[in-house]
Amino acid sequence: MEHSNFHHALKIREDLCIGCSHCMNVCPTEAIRVKNGKSVLYGDRCVDCGECFRVCPVSAIIIDHDDFNYIFDYKYRVALVPAVFTGQFPEDISLRQIYSVIMDIGFTHVYEVENGVEVLAEAINEVAAKHPEKKPLISSFCPAIVRLIQVKFPSLVENIMLLKPPLDISALHIRKELTSKGIPEEETGIFYVTPCAAKIAAIKDPVGEKSSAITGVINMDILFNKVYRQVKQKNNQLCTLPVEGMMSKKATCWSLTNGEAPYVKGRSLAIDEIKNVIDFLERLENEEVSDIDFLELRACDESCAGGVLTISNRFLTAERLRNHAEDYHPNLDVQHPDATPKIIENKEYLMQHIEIGEIKPRSMMKLDENMAEAMKKMEKVNRIMQLLPMVDCGICGAPSCQALAQDIAQGEATIKNCIFIQKILEQRGELSLDESIQIMQDIWGFGKTNKYRDLKGI
């Protein structure tokens, strides 16, 4: 049974899955089970962080994205490029070379995502000043974190700032710019080059909004390979683009860890890697930490530089971007001679559209929509937990004893799935060996259990 409350970019290919349980064991929200020898995604828990994608040994977990040829459905094709994309390339490859090739392979425009920072930074402080009761204010930059809070920390949903991230602000700006030039909106396709799965999900199913200004999404690893190959083939030939100016230091490093927090007034903390974030939010929810004004939370180690679709080592990418930022004139905050001033010119329009709607909690702990029924199921979970061994071995096909107890309460598993309970029942004569083997086959598949049926002579 697949639960599906969100759109998910992560997909499990059943034909490739070997039921190794690697993905189940690393999932931070316990969104994966093993059934009949295959991994199954519980969509109401998944936040598209991509941890399962990282560890799958047979590439059975894929990230669904738009086909590159989709861009040619539009007359005007905008590549919305984040700074971490250019940070993937060696130092001897210039931005001009990269953007030139992006246009050579089919795009008509290239635009830098982080230009939206020039508008967002001011808006964050305005929101913080208007809502001093919302402490800490939590950044909405990382969509995996927004979903994590929705499903695992629903009591903190009201702390998420209701502002668009730089990605959406830049998309709005570029649409306005092109329509102001007489270009029909339906002829413009804006395609984001994503370093992660969560941003694909956020674009296809935006939280707090009905739709996104972005047309489609291209995986960063795919575009990198296309561009890098052609850059090398050109071998320093003349580029089709003139030398452009640079984004501000603030904008260039915004998508890195501690890129956002320094520009928010008050006490701000930057925390990356989803397990670190979960640990901190648990402490926050338990009121173990206080007096924090702003939290910059990112699901990946080194933030977007560590996205699952990046190619380069995350530490090298972060170093390159910080080196680029240090090259900028320290007395000028805005330097891009083309893009940034134009987005500043549209500031009033963008500020009018920068807010998003209410973000609602979608707790993964909710056992039933009916409160009375949910309470009955919770009591059942508590009773089951007292019977389980609490060793979280995963042999039952669930990542923890608590997850198994919840599955049993929901009618998606039985107490006999627990190997310890099986052995107790066998000793009592209430469960035969063949029945026990059948239960394991239902979880781990016939292939894994059948080869152990006859152990004589070993």
Rounded to whole angstroms, the Cα distance separating 374 from 42 reads 19
Report whether 76 contacts 36 (CB < 8 A). Answer: no
Query: Over pLDDT 70: what percentage of the chain?
Result: 91
Residue 287 confidence (pLDDT) above 50: yes
- Which letter, b or e, does each residue of 258-283 get, where b requires 16 or more Cβ atoms within 10 Å of its Cβ? ebbbebbeeebebbbbbeebbebbee
**Tens-digit pLDDT profile for residues 392-438:** 999 999 999 999 999 999 999 999 999 999 999 999 999 998 899 89
Strand, coil or helix: what is 147? Answer: helix
Report whether 359 contacts 138 (CB < 8 A). Answer: no
Q: Are residues 30 and 116 in the same domain?
A: no
Rounded to whole angstroms, the Cα distance separating 227 from 146 reads 32
Report whether 212 contacts 66 (CB < 8 A). Answer: no
> Can you give the pLDDT at residue 52?
96
Q: Are residues 245 and 374 in the same domain?
A: no
Residue 327 confidence (pLDDT) above 80: no
Q: Are residues 181 and 326 in the same domain?
A: yes
Residue 197 lies in a domain: yes
* First vs last C-alpha separation in the chain: 38
Q: Are residues 215 and 248 in the same domain?
A: yes
**Tens-digit pLDDT profile for residues 168-225:** 999 999 999 999 999 999 999 999 999 999 999 999 999 888 889 999 999 999 999 9
Q: Are residues 430 and 381 in the same domain?
A: yes
Residue 415 lies in a domain: yes
Instruction: Look at residues 64, 87, 115 and tell me which one is the last residue of a structural domain.
Output: 64
Pairing of strands 268-272, 216-219: unpaired
> Can you give the pLDDT at residue 243?
46
Give the Å distances, CA to CA, from 99 to 138, 179, 187, 190, 199.
33, 23, 22, 15, 22
pTM of the model: 0.90
Query: Which of 362, 300, 309 is CA-nearest to residue 144?
Result: 300
Q: Are residues 22 and 73 in the same domain?
A: no
CATH number of the structural domain spanning residue 15 = 3.30.70.20
Residue 338 confidence (pLDDT) above 70: no
Rounded to whole angstroms, the Cα distance separating 127 from 131 reads 6
Q: Are residues 316 and 423 in the same domain?
A: no
Instruction: Look at residues 41, 64, 87 and tell me which one is the last residue of a structural domain.
Output: 64
Instruction: Look at residues 64, 97, 119 and tell me which one is the last residue of a structural domain.
Output: 64
Q: Are residues 387 and 343 in the same domain?
A: no
Rounded to whole angstroms, the Cα distance separating 305 from 303 reads 5
Residue 311 lies in a domain: yes
> Can you give the pLDDT at residue 332?
43
Containing structural domain, residue 229: 68-128+164-258+304-352
CATH number of the structural domain spanning residue 401 = 1.10.15.40
CATH number of the structural domain spanning residue 186 = 3.40.50
Q: How many CB atoms lie within 10 A of CB 430?
A: 11
> Can you give the pLDDT at residue 1?
39
Residue 83 confidence (pLDDT) above 50: yes
In 47-116, alpha helices (H): 51-55, 83-86, 95-104
Residue 278 lies in a domain: no
Domain count, the chain: 3
**Tens-digit pLDDT profile for residues 91-134:** 888 888 899 999 999 999 999 999 999 899 999 999 988 888 88
> Can you give the pLDDT at residue 331?
44
Give the Å distances, CA to CA, from 35 to 324, 417, 432, 458.
49, 11, 21, 29
Q: Are residues 254 and 333 in the same domain?
A: yes
**Tens-digit pLDDT profile for residues 1-35:** 344 467 899 999 999 999 999 999 999 999 999 99
Rounded to whole angstroms, the Cα distance separating 29 from 50 reads 12
Residue 158 lies in a domain: no
